[in-house]
């Protein structure tokens, strides 16, 4: 992987002010939790995701909006909670006016309509992966809680770009960092951290009215 990968990454360290971040953290900590990740339950709730029938360690997740992955393809999730819908609009507005993400491979995003929230304990992690191709070319995230972490991008198993994600920060990636064969992973979570990840449907996957 060659070229200046900074062109495909955007970071704003103090996107949320402390009161707004604290309010979001309180809301997410109070969100319901359940054992069953069944998408037919129309409630935004945290659960331990399954991979090949085995519960994932190191994080729990909640999801909402359109599209989410139901194990087979794109599907409508629970309605996006107002707190996250408001945040999604703020993130969309910020990135559409940002100096970053303005190259042919890193366009300004569409409106974000899908949200995943991962809650990491200290020492939590997310294994190396590429986001599914049901999602569009820009992925954005907001970090909430006292914990920080390292977001690392890998190509052929070797780190090619990494960035520390601090509390209250906004980050986004696109282009070469978004697409296969590049992978990304989360490590070094220092304390409880909520990663609020926003996406939208890729071209050809249509819209869904909930």
What is the rounded distance in angstroms from the CA atom of residue 106 to the CA atom of residue 178? Answer: 9
- The proportion of the chain whose per-residue pLDDT surpasses 90, expressed as a percent, equals 72
pLDDT of residue 204: 66
**What is the Cα–Cα distance from 23 to 100, expressed in whole angstroms?**
28
Low-confidence winner among 16-25, 52-61, 68-77 (lowest mean pLDDT): 52-61
Residue 26: helix, strand or coil by DSSP? helix
Banded model confidence at residue 103, pLDDT cuts 50, 70, 90: low
pLDDT of residue 96: 87
Joined tokens for residue 95: 């990135």
Burial of 72 (0-12, 13-18, 19+ CB in 10 A): exposed
Q: Three-state DSSP class for 84?
A: helix
- The alpha carbons of the chain give a radius of gyration, in whole angstroms, of 16
Q: What are phi and psi of 3, to 5 degrees?
A: 95, 175
Q: Which residues partner with 65 through β-bridges?
A: 114
pTM over 0.85: yes
| pLDDT over threshold 60, residue 69 | yes
Question: What mean pLDDT is predicted for residues 120-137?
Answer: 94
- Beta bridge partners, 126, equal 186
Looking at the chain, the whole-number percentage of residues with pLDDT higher than 70 is 88
Q: Of residues 130 and 109, which shows the higher confidence score?
A: 130
Lowest mean pLDDT across 69-78, 86-95, 118-127, 184-193:
69-78
- Residue 2 pLDDT more than 70? no
Across 147-170, average pLDDT: 96
Q: Which residue has the tokens 């954005």?
A: 140
Cα separation, 170 vs 10, whole angstroms: 8
- The DSSP code for 52 is T
Do the Cβ atoms of 176 and 99 come closer than 8 Å?
A: no
- Contact of 188 with 129, CB cutoff 8 Å: no
- In the predicted model, what is the mean pLDDT of residues 187-197? 98
The pLDDT-based confidence of 104 (bands split at 50, 70, 90) is low
Q: What are phi and psi of 64, to 5 degrees?
A: -165, 165
The stretch 133-148 carries a mean pLDDT of 96
Specify the CATH number for 5-199; select among 1.10.8.60, 2.60.120.590, 2.60.40.1180, 1.10.420.10: 2.60.120.590
Model pLDDT, residue 52 = 66
């Amino acid at each position: 992987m060659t070229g200046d990968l900074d062109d495909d990454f955007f970071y704003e360290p103090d996107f949320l002010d402390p009161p707004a971040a604290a309010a979001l953290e309180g809301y997410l900590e109070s969100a319901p939790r359940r054992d069953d990740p069944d998408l037919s339950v129309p409630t935004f709730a945290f659960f331990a995701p399954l991979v090949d029938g085995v519960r994932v360690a190191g994080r729990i997740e909640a999801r909402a909006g359109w599209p989410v992955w139901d194990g087979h393809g794109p599907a409508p999730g629970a309605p996006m909670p107002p707190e996250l819908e408001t945040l999604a609009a703020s993130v969309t507005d910020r990135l559409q006016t940002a100096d970053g993400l303005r190259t042919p491979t890193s366009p300004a995003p569409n409106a974000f309509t899908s949200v995943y929230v991962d809650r990491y304990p200290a020492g939590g992690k997310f294994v190396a992966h590429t986001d599914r191709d049901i999602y569009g070319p820009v992925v954005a995230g907001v970090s909430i809680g006292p914990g920080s972490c390292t977001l690392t991008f890998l190509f052929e198993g070797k780190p090619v770009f990494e960035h520390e994600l601090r509390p209250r920060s906004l980050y986004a990636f696109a282009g070469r960092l978004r697409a296969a064969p590049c992978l990304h992973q989360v490590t070094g979570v220092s304390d409880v951290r909520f990663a609020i990840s926003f996406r939208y449907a890729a071209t050809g996957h249509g819209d869904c009215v909930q």
